[in-house]
Amino acid sequence: MFEGFAHADVDVGEATIHVRHGGKGPPLVLLHGHPRTGATWHRVAPVLAEQGFTVVVPDLRGYGRSSAPAPRSDHAQASKRAMAGDILELMRQLGHDRFDLVGHDRGSYVAFRLALDHPEAVRRVALLDCIPIVEHLDRMTPEFATAWFHWFFFAQPEVPERVIGADPDAWYHGDPDAMGAENFAERREAVHRPEVVRAMLEDYRAGLTVDRADEESDRAAGRRLSMPLLVLWSLHDDLEQLFGDPLEIWRDWAVDVRGHGIASGHHVAEEAPDALARDLTSFFSE
């Protein structure tokens, strides 16, 4: 995977972030979701590098080969603001004060927070398969709670660690042919480490506490993304079925919103890499 990309472990303060980076041109950061690592982008990142971008692919704090601080009672060490700070410092150390940004799934919340808190650093942002956390919670239905039960299960203390740790392969199943053998192996190795599982669960615990509170404060203050926003969602997943048109929701959070669905399941970077790479290339080339 990632032929021609450099690998590094960068100390950003509270965490050490494992990163792959390659290509030449405007900097573009790709942030993965749960329970993936940066390897989920292995079919997309090289294409973007060929299209003239410097592509930066980190593992989020606590995921994959990146470290994370010990859990705190308020889960702030796993907040999206803390994770966004990691990415900002990582990019500064790689020599980039301003960059384009993509986030998928949990990574989209990190990208959203980074773009909202540091608009001077983010030129354009693409968010995949997400709406803000508070918008999910405001639209709570039995269907959402059933389909997305893991949000609330992961938030419970200690029990999820024991359940997942008993058989990580059963919980985090996957198809190595569909994912790519190396991507699958990297993800599998990560979820067999208890400290990674704990950190990933803390991501969700922060989501329902400190991250939710941050978004509620943002909404009350009328804060919105000022840079162009591309919203993409997987047509074979359930985001649109549960919540309607994601663009309508995001228009309350950004001044310039465009986007559409992609014929894919949830892990779009693995399932529809060509379509995704085309959309990202077009948007970030403007």
What's the CA gap between 79 and 109, in Å, rounded? 10
For 28-80, write each residue's pLDDT tens digit: 999 999 999 999 999 999 999 999 999 999 999 999 999 999 999 999 999 99
Q: What is the per-residue pLDDT for 56?
A: 98
Mean pLDDT on 193-208: 98
Give strand pairing partners of 262.
234
Give the phi and the psi of residue 104 in degrees, each rounded to 5. Answer: -120, 135
- Quote the pLDDT of residue 129: 98
Residues labelled as active-site residues:
105, 266
pTM given for the model: 0.97
| 198 close to 205: Cβ distance less than 8 angstroms | no
Q: Which residues neighbour 142 within 8 Å (Cβ) at sequence distance 6 or greater?
A: none
3-state class percentages of the chain: helix first, strand second, coil last, to nearest 5: 45, 15, 35
pLDDT at 249: 98
Mean pLDDT of 125-153: 96
Q: Which domains does the chain have, with CATH numbers?
A: 6-284 (3.40.50.1820)
Beta partners for residue 39, in sequence order: none
The predicted structure's pLDDT at residue 257 = 98
